[in-house]
Amino acid sequence: MPPINRTKPKFPPKTPIVGEPHTSAGATDLQPFDRRSLLKLIHATIPLPTREENCADGSLVFVGGDPGEVVVRVAGSRITISVFSIVFEGPHTPVVRTQPIMSLNWRVVPAVQLTSLLQDMIETARQLRQSQFRRCNKCGETKPPEWMFDDDSCQGCVA
């Protein structure tokens, strides 16, 4: 995998989501998110456009970016951040194959730490994915690896 291109311009920083800890007596800075706040944080952090999918196993999957860049899966108390990736199983069968980079129990991690972890890891996943994009020498457009025919040309220019 090529090194991450750190000179790429970053998206404008998004407004950090302030946690909505329970305000009952005894609440501390170590209070974790509730599910609603977690989903709100994911929506505010993941790249646009965002697709959201309810899976048969009860988990909730968010795919950010088009072409996809970041995948966030919430399954019970577990949240997993992955780099979006497509592999071909046969010449015409693209299959989404995510590469997990972080997985943790969001119900126990304090909201403040979870917010910064999620923002960091989503940004990291986005950079890892974008570092794989290639510029087509024929049309000049930057495309994800699965749309490239070879290092030089995209599939659209070869077809």
Q: Write out the residues near Zn ion by the rule CB under 5 A.
A: 136, 138-139, 154, 157
- Nearest-angstrom CA–CA distance, 21 and 155: 49
- Closer of 60 and 157 to Zn ion (Cβ): 157
Helix 35-45 and helix 111-130, axial crossing angle in degrees, nearest 10 = 30
CB of 67 to Zn ion, least distance (A): 14
Cβ atoms of 75 and 58 closer than 8 Å? yes
CB of 151 to Zn ion, least distance (A): 12
The half-sphere exposure of 159 on its side-chain side, counting CA atoms within 13 A, is 6
CB of 155 to Zn ion, least distance (A): 8
DSSP conformation letters of 85-123: -EEESSTT-EEE--EEEEEEETTTSBHHHHHHHHHHHHH
CB of 143 to Zn ion, least distance (A): 7
- Closer of 67 and 110 to Zn ion (Cβ): 67
Summary count for the chain: helices (H), strands (E): 3, 9
- Closer of 127 and 153 to Zn ion (Cβ): 153
> Residue 80's CB: how many other CB atoms inside 10 A?
18
- Closer of 66 and 150 to Zn ion (Cβ): 150
- Closer of 108 and 139 to Zn ion (Cβ): 139
CB of 139 to Zn ion, least distance (A): 3
